[in-house]
Structure 1
Amino acid sequence: MVASPAFAEFLREQLAPLGRITMRRMFGKTGVFCDGVMFGMVTDNTFYVRVEDQNREIFKEAAASPPLNYAKRGATIDLAFWRVPERLFDEPDELAVWAQAALAAAHRVAAKRAGPSAPARKSRASPAKRRNSP
């Protein structure tokens, strides 16, 4: 399930110090973006953050819960998003530290995917809008 409107607004308020927080439905879940970079996901009003090798130690408390996953061909596929402990919603400064670490990880993952010779990203503007721009 996607994030409820109330939970989405709560996250926007809590994460606002990071930058422009937006959310978008994705695969039956809600992607959490900061300035266009996805660093978190929400399902059933549970917040998950991006984890990779460089920030795994920061999130060791989250390793106690299963990562965000989905079923594919009868197998469970774990994603690189770990559940944020509920206690952090009462600790906005610590939640910000976790979110900043997840955002940094998301930037590193995006950079690896893009690679050094990747072409520049195309604008998401509609074709009609692109035709009308100077």
Structure 2
Amino acid sequence: MAVRDPAIDHLLELLAPLGAATARRMFGGWGVYLDGEIVVLFARGVAYAKTDALTRADFAAAGSAPFVFESRGRTVETSYWSLPEAALDSSEALRPWAQLALAAARRKPVARKARSGEDRRG
């Protein structure tokens, strides 16, 4: 049985009043899901919430920063931004940030796989 980071248990506890909260290991960190949608990426000891063009400014205004990683010699910025530290104090404090992340996750278009033989040109 894999040992789970206590911070993940804390996040799940804080998210529980908002819906079905679960966590899965991914990329050396954790994906935290709310009602089946990934809303938080927990990596390097930091919780990053899902953002999009409609919510990113809210996170930036709160002093958050994006999750970045190096790939093939370049820095890649993701759509996950750090949660404000105070958001992890209580379910009530996390609620608005979790709702923004859930809304962003639900707005993300689902990638459609090309069928065999389908013309992939525009």
TM range (shorter): 0.7 to 0.9
Number of residue pairs aligned between Structure 1 and Structure 2: 113
Query: How far apart are the structure 2 equivalents of 1:49 and 1:38?
Result: 9
Shift of 1:37: 1.0
The amino acid across from 1:20 in the alignment is A
Map of 2:30 onto structure 1 = 30
Query: How far apart are the structure 2 equivalents of 1:106 and 1:19?
Result: 15
Please, what is the CA RMSD of the aligned residues? 2.4
Map of 2:66 onto structure 1 = 67
Q: How does 1:1-134 map to 2 (within 5 A)?
A: 4-62=4-62, 64-109=63-108, 112-114=109-111
Unaligned runs of 5+ in 1: 120-134
Unaligned runs of 5+ in 2: 116-122
Query: How far apart are the structure 2 equivalents of 1:49 and 1:65?
Result: 10
Q: Which has the larger helix fraction?
A: 1
Shift of 1:91: 4.7
Q: Is the 8 A contact 2:29 2:43 kept in 1?
A: yes
Q: Is the 8 A contact 1:37 1:106 kept in 2?
A: yes
Q: Is the 8 A contact 2:11 2:88 kept in 1?
A: no
TM-score normalised per structure 1: 0.73
Percent identity, aligned pairs only, is: 38
Q: Report the 3-state secondary structure (helix = DSSP H, G, I; strand = E; otherwise coil) of the residue aligned with 1:68.
A: strand
Shift of 1:114: 4.2
Shift of 1:76: 0.8
Query: How far apart are the structure 2 equivalents of 1:60 and 1:52?
Result: 12
Shift of 1:4: 5.0
Q: Which has the larger strand fraction?
A: 2
TM-score normalised per structure 2: 0.80
Q: Report the 3-state secondary structure (helix = DSSP H, G, I; strand = E; otherwise coil) of the residue aligned with 2:76.
A: strand
Query: How far apart are the structure 2 equivalents of 1:59 and 1:67?
Result: 9
